[in-house]
Chains A and B, each alone.
Chain A
Amino acid sequence: MLSLSGVSKSFPGVRALSEVSLDVRSGEIHALVGENGAGKSTLTRTIAGVHQPDEGTIRFDGRDIRWTSPGDAKKAGIHVIYQEFVLFPHLSVAENIYIGHERKTRFCLIDHKKAAADARELLARFGLDLDPKAMVSDLSVADQQMVEIAKALVHDVKLLILDEPTAVISGPEVDVLFKRLRALRDAGVAIIYISHRLEEIFALCDRVSVLKDGRYIGTRPVAEVDRNELISMMVGRSLVELFPPRRTLAADRPTVLEVSDVSVPGRVRNASLVLRAGEITGLAGMVGAGRSELAFAIFGALKKSGGSVVLDGKDISKTTPAEAIAAGIGLVTEDRKGQGLAMLLDIAANITASTLPTVTRYGLIDRNQENSIAEAEIANYRVACRGPSTGVLQMSGGNQQKVILARWARTSSRVLILDEPTRGVDVGAKTEIYRIIHELADSGIAVLMISSELPEIVGLSDRVYVMREGEIVGALETDEISEQAVIALATHQLAA
């Protein structure tokens, strides 16, 4: 269906793709893996006509093609579901589905009735339960994902490319997505599936191709490859152990933070948990279980309707985020770009952002001191960059995350809450971040780590709380932690 040979693409200063050759057959789900910056997104965009290749040929559906715009590729039957949704939040579901292919009346006017009816039928045909007239901004992220898929189904899609489709959904929604994708595959659609989650590739895909540093490494049938081989293809070295060895916990681990019966209307009900010094406490559960909301409530960024938060024996239930930071609590949000980093500033400015008074003299920022702090942290956290004045916008997700961790580690002397600390981060950077989390905990900070990735929860946590539908439904001690135990609690299945 799709055949690339010798495709290269350079941007000023970067060779993003270098002689990539790749074959994708119709009726297969073809995984595309590689670390961040390996060229997966560039490749996707080249196939989709956003970029034009500098060299090489792309054959699609039996003929050589050269797109001049995304519209060309779409017409030919290539549909991409990007990691960042390409949806118009203030248009309805039906309007989004038919954008660019509006349903028309005889007079060339848009036929709202037909669009709504057609959308309803299309959604029903694929078992998607959505109201075509609903505004997209009112939908959950998972439902927005379904709208993206429905959009692909409108056209006679021959090649469907999904870039990290499960980054924002979890559990049952992933199962629904997989079911739809398998149905599409069986209908003869070629699917390219990009994901960092190797489990998904083994569960869903037929073949897997690996990119590294813009080069094509190889393609293997999924049935003939194992996790370690895949990782070694991706990073060029074998990562037998993704997680650092378990730490020996100090005997004396005093309680640092005690959360009792905290509620957030509609989100969290009577949640209680305890964080101890030097421990990594995992907070597991499905997306939407109320984990982030609980974190925000502890941090004082979300109003509590009841309950108390006690830090070092002092009641801080009514704290504001500024007071929480002053008290030594840090919160690394899951949305790096939205809430974490000032994308336009450089590394130094980001690292010192929450400790500015320490680098300020006579009301002015001491850039030299700021830079030397930044240089120390860059070395400490092994941030790959040109120096303290590198703009964070140009860095990979993994390095951005390290910068955020560096910033918060400077202020959070007592408690550090990490919300999905490795989202959108590649395998290599993940191990680095795990190492940093370990070091932070070893220094005596109580770490609360929210994660939707089970291996991460199991591999890193000393204790685990599991949330479901706003409630904490279970706590697991070190020797009780297993993927099965967490899943059972998170989904309310009986433990197998």
Chain B
Amino acid sequence: MNLTRSKLGFGINRSRAGIIVVVALLAILFIIGIAVSDRFGTSRNLLNIYEQSTGLALVSLGQTLAVLTGGIDLSVGSVISLVSMLTSGLISGDQSMVIPVVIGVLALGLAIGAVNGGVIILTGVHPLIVTLGTGAIIQGIALLYGLGPIGKVPKGFDYFAYGRLPGGISFGATFTMLLFLLTAFLLARTKAGRYIYATGDDPHAATLMGLPTTRIIMLVYMLTGFCSALTGVYLVSRFGVGQPYTGANYTLASITPVVVGGTMLAGGRGGVIGTLLGVYLVSLLNNLLNFLGVSTHLQLVAQGLVIIAAVSVYVEKRRIA
């Protein structure tokens, strides 16, 4: 107990409610899974679930940061799409272009985030609206670049998505998990992390306390943009080609693990560990429903139910006086 407190410390503490709920749900789904299918509990299937969680995990990591400050980023899906197009389009099968292009698109993610953050700060318009707008613009640019799948990537580029570490463990998913642990640590143990929570908890108080709120907002949307760009690169690695709508579903999907993992939309409460578990929960649920032979349409229904069930647990009882 003491050890967990001091090591991951306040990070875990802040989203404890979320973590308990998600772990409980994970356990329940897991038991159901074992009951309905022999193959569900095999290490092969579990490693599959792990591997398939990568894309959602990457984009949700950034989304968690935006939500922690009391904001949201609705441009993530468009950024993913644009970055996937640019990645495969610019590399165009040329091995020597891989590194410069990947660095370039990640920088583009940061730049788009900087624009989002800058507009939010300068105009004072709610991030929901700002990113809805920039998201539409970016989607438009992606479509101007190409109306369908574009370019290709050299052999070996799929290592991010399909590479396996010793023991058959997915490289991409492990890389992503480490990224989450690093972020959790930084959130708990750096000033910037503390200020992200403070800004989300009470932005007015944060300003009066002389905290650098504008820099924090800027930082958060840049990181969200970076995570989206990384997700775009991942999807190219996975599908071998960029497509103009490849990220479309990720905008809303990225919010699910965040709220299921116990991060409050009002900001200031929650954390990335809860989000990571939320991602695993979504992956596990989809996998389980596949085993049950449930159609993808019904999977959406099930996902919706899980969101509402999980989040209603966190809702504080309204108190008078």
Q: Interface on A for B, CB 8 Å cutoff?
A: 50, 69-72, 74, 80, 82, 85-92, 95, 99-100, 102, 108-110, 112-113, 292-293, 296, 301-302
Q: Which residue in chain B gives the minimum CB-CB distance to A89?
A: B201
In the complex, number of A-B residue pairs with CB atoms less than 8 Å apart: 72
> Are A112 and B198 within 8 A (Cβ)?
no
Min Cβ gap B64→A in Å is 16
Cβ–Cβ < 8 Å partners of B208 in chain A? 50, 70, 80, 82, 86
Cβ–Cβ < 8 Å partners of A82 in chain B? 208
How far does the alpha carbon of A71 sit from the alpha carbon of B210 in the complex, in Å? 4
Min Cβ gap A368→B in Å is 35
Q: Which residue in chain A gives the minimum CB-CB distance to B211?
A: A100
Q: 25 A-B residue contacts at CB 8 Å? A: A69-B210, A74-B209, A74-B210, A82-B208, A85-B205, A86-B204, A86-B209, A87-B205, A88-B268, A89-B202, A89-B268, A90-B201, A90-B269, A95-B194, A99-B194, A99-B211, A100-B209, A100-B210, A110-B188, A110-B189, A110-B191, A110-B194, A112-B6, A112-B9, A113-B6
Min Cβ gap B314→A in Å is 13
Shortest 8 CB-CB contacts between residues of A and residues of B: A71-B210, A109-B189, A88-B201, A86-B205, A70-B210, A86-B208, A110-B189, A88-B198
Cβ–Cβ < 8 Å partners of A71 in chain B? 210
State which of B14, B189, B321 has its C-beta within 8 Å of the C-beta of A292.
Answer: B321
State which of B193, B197, B321 has its C-beta within 8 Å of the C-beta of A293.
Answer: B321
Q: Is B312 an interface residue (CB 8 A)?
A: no
Q: Is B190 an interface residue (CB 8 A)?
A: yes
Given A88-B202, A100-B209, also A109-B320 (CB < 8 A):
no
How far does the alpha carbon of A95 sit from the alpha carbon of B206 in the complex, in Å? 13
> Are B194 and A90 within 8 A (Cβ)?
no
Cβ–Cβ < 8 Å partners of B296 in chain A? none
State which of B188, B189, B197, B210 has its C-beta within 8 Å of the C-beta of A88.
Answer: B197
Q: Is B207 an interface residue (CB 8 A)?
A: yes
How far does the alpha carbon of A100 sit from the alpha carbon of B202 in the complex, in Å? 14
Min Cβ gap A229→B in Å is 35
Min Cβ gap A386→B in Å is 26
Q: Is B10 an interface residue (CB 8 A)?
A: yes
State which of B198, B209, B268, B320 has its C-beta within 8 Å of the C-beta of A70.
Answer: B209
How far does the alpha carbon of A87 sit from the alpha carbon of B202 in the complex, in Å? 8
State which of B193, B194, B210, B320 has its C-beta within 8 Å of the C-beta of A296.
Answer: B320
Max chain B Cβ within 10 angstroms of own Cβ: one of A74, A110, A292: A110
Min Cβ gap B303→A in Å is 28
Contact residues, B183-203 vs A (CB, 8 A) = 188-191, 193-194, 197-198, 201-202
Contact residues, B73-120 vs A (CB, 8 A) = none
> Are B194 and A102 within 8 A (Cβ)?
yes
How far does the alpha carbon of A258 sit from the alpha carbon of B65 in the complex, in Å? 54
Contact residues, B207-226 vs A (CB, 8 A) = 207-211
How far does the alpha carbon of A112 sit from the alpha carbon of B5 in the complex, in Å? 10
> Are A302 and B320 within 8 A (Cβ)?
yes
How far does the alpha carbon of A82 sit from the alpha carbon of B204 in the complex, in Å? 12
How far does the alpha carbon of A91 sit from the alpha carbon of B205 in the complex, in Å? 12
Max chain A Cβ within 10 angstroms of own Cβ: one of B9, B207, B321: B321
Contact residues, B258-296 vs A (CB, 8 A) = 268-269
Cβ–Cβ < 8 Å partners of A109 in chain B? 189-190
Q: Which residue in chain A gives the minimum CB-CB distance to B207?
A: A70
> Are B201 and A91 within 8 A (Cβ)?
yes
Min Cβ gap A79→B in Å is 10
- Having A87-B205, A90-B197, A110-B189, one finds 19 other A-B pairs with CB under 8 Å, namely A50-B208, A69-B210, A70-B209, A71-B210, A72-B210, A74-B209, A86-B204, A88-B202, A88-B206, A89-B268, A91-B198, A92-B10, A99-B194, A99-B198, A100-B209, A112-B10, A112-B189, A292-B321, A302-B321
How far does the alpha carbon of A302 sit from the alpha carbon of B318 in the complex, in Å? 11
How far does the alpha carbon of A341 sit from the alpha carbon of B1 in the complex, in Å? 47
Max chain A Cβ within 10 angstroms of own Cβ: one of B204, B210, B269: B210
Cβ–Cβ < 8 Å partners of B9 in chain A? 112
Q: Which residue in chain B gives the minimum CB-CB distance to A113?
A: B6
Cβ–Cβ < 8 Å partners of A112 in chain B? 6, 9-10, 189
Q: Which residue in chain A gives the minimum CB-CB distance to B269?
A: A90
> Are B268 and A90 within 8 A (Cβ)?
yes
Cβ–Cβ < 8 Å partners of B269 in chain A? 90
